[in-house]
Amino acid sequence: MKRTLVEKIDFELPDEIAKFTEGARLFDSSCSPEARVWFVDKDKGYYLKTCDVGTLKREAEMTAYFHKKGLGAEVLRYSSGERDWLLTEKVSGEDCTYKRYLDDPKRLCDTIAAELRKLHETDFFDCPIQDRMSEYFALAEENYRTGNYDKTSFPDSFGYRSAEEAWAVLCRGRGEINGRVLLHGDYCLPNIMLDNWKFSKFIDLGNGGVGDRHVDLFWGAWTLWFNLKTDKYRARFFDAYGRDKVDEEKIKIIAAAEVFG
């Protein structure tokens, strides 16, 4: 995760969060236009995230839940006013885009597959989001209706020649996407933390909840393609996860949903 030293945070901080930044060196660690993230170099370290009002409530909730399971960072503060603010502890290790991990792609592939299978076998009876797929498909439908068809993150649109073709696949197949496991929801290399190859924590959990495993399987295959610049590890990833639980036809249905953002 990149860090750029900055003089200050260019937003007014809530009092309950400002005290954590007093006297600290601050590093901009943002990696998307939707949210700003800073590393606060104080004590054992903190990460501070801000976004539009109401947009971090789910992430705070799911991060706290994953922390209770030993899988996520501790949430220290969540504040919602003119903006949303989320302060979490720094977790040990590095995310999976760190060079030492990318330089050993077979081991990386096998590692993230094994950790995903463990996540999907985690008990979820008390998860606060018990029906992630209803929201997931509702968002895809809304984006289809408003013309949000993503060819930026998915340049070949997964073989779908048009929004209409992808939408037809989704409409025919969405009833088959009915599994129930604990999902990360955005299972990509930057969101998986390792400490010398040992699993540390998951981060960026705003899309988590109980839903069908093929959402995470889709993103796991996608992130290997995107970050390693090759699709040669796709089959290995599914093998390492366990072919007994992988249905590639369902992954095509998930792909049809994902091209609508």
Active-site annotation holds for 239: no
Q: How confident is the model at residue 155 (pLDDT cuts 50, 70, 90)?
A: low
Q: How confident is the model at residue 1 (pLDDT cuts 50, 70, 90)?
A: low
Q: Please tell me whether residues 104 and 194 are part of one structural domain.
A: yes
Kindly state the tokens that stand for 179: 């599994």
Q: Please tell me whether residues 98 and 176 are part of one structural domain.
A: yes
Spatial distance between the Cα atoms of 50 and 208, rounded to a whole number of angstroms? 19
The answer to whether residue 158 scores a pLDDT higher than 80 is no
The answer to whether residue 156 scores a pLDDT higher than 70 is no
Which tens digit of pLDDT belongs to each residue from 173-220? 999 999 999 999 999 999 999 999 999 999 999 999 999 999 999 999
Beta bridge partners of 4: 28
Which tens digit of pLDDT belongs to each residue from 28-41? 988 777 789 999 99
Q: Please tell me whether residues 135 and 14 are part of one structural domain.
A: no
Tell me how crowded residue 90 is: count the other CB atoms within 10 A of its CB: 16
Q: Please tell me whether residues 13 and 124 are part of one structural domain.
A: no
Q: Please tell me whether residues 69 and 198 are part of one structural domain.
A: no
**Sequence-ordered strand ranges (E) for 91-176:** 94-95
Q: Please tell me whether residues 116 and 233 are part of one structural domain.
A: yes
How high is the pLDDT of residue 120?
Answer: 98
The answer to whether residue 167 scores a pLDDT higher than 80 is yes
Which tens digit of pLDDT belongs to each residue from 79-91? 999 999 999 999 9
Torsion from C-alpha of 94, 97, 102, 107, nearest 10 degrees = 60
pTM, full prediction: 0.94
Q: How confident is the model at residue 153 (pLDDT cuts 50, 70, 90)?
A: low
Instruction: Check: CB of residue 62 under 8 Å from CB of residue 208.
Output: yes
Kindly state the tokens that stand for 63: 């991060």
Q: Please tell me whether residues 117 and 207 are part of one structural domain.
A: yes
Last residue of a domain, one of 67, 89, 111: 89
- The tally of domains found in the chain comes to 2
Last residue of a domain, one of 46, 74, 89: 89
The answer to whether residue 166 scores a pLDDT higher than 80 is yes
Spatial distance between the Cα atoms of 142 and 193, rounded to a whole number of angstroms? 32
- CATH number for position 9: 3.30.200.20
How high is the pLDDT of residue 154?
Answer: 65
Kindly state the tokens that stand for 253: 């249905």
Q: Please tell me whether residues 222 and 182 are part of one structural domain.
A: yes
Q: Please tell me whether residues 143 and 235 are part of one structural domain.
A: yes
**DSSP SS3 for 179:** coil
Query: 214 exposed, middle or buried (CB, 10 Å; 0-12, 13-18, 19+)?
Result: buried
How high is the pLDDT of residue 3?
Answer: 80
Q: Please tell me whether residues 27 and 154 are part of one structural domain.
A: no
Which tens digit of pLDDT belongs to each residue from 120-134? 999 999 999 999 999
Q: Please tell me whether residues 128 and 196 are part of one structural domain.
A: yes
Q: Per mean pLDDT, which range of 49-53, 113-117, 118-122, 162-166 is the poorest?
A: 162-166
The answer to whether residue 254 scores a pLDDT higher than 70 is yes
Spatial distance between the Cα atoms of 124 and 126, rounded to a whole number of angstroms? 6
- CATH number for position 197: 3.90.1200.10
Mean pLDDT of the chain: 94
The answer to whether residue 140 scores a pLDDT higher than 60 is yes
Domain with 109 in it: 94-258
Spatial distance between the Cα atoms of 124 and 248, rounded to a whole number of angstroms? 24
Kindly state the tokens that stand for 75: 């949430």
Question: Of the residues 28, 84, 126, 186, which is catalytic?
Answer: 186
Last residue of a domain, one of 89, 113, 142: 89
How high is the pLDDT of residue 32?
Answer: 76
Q: Per mean pLDDT, which range of 25-34, 93-102, 219-228 is the poorest?
A: 25-34
Q: Please tell me whether residues 154 and 118 are part of one structural domain.
A: yes
Query: 52 exposed, middle or buried (CB, 10 Å; 0-12, 13-18, 19+)?
Result: exposed
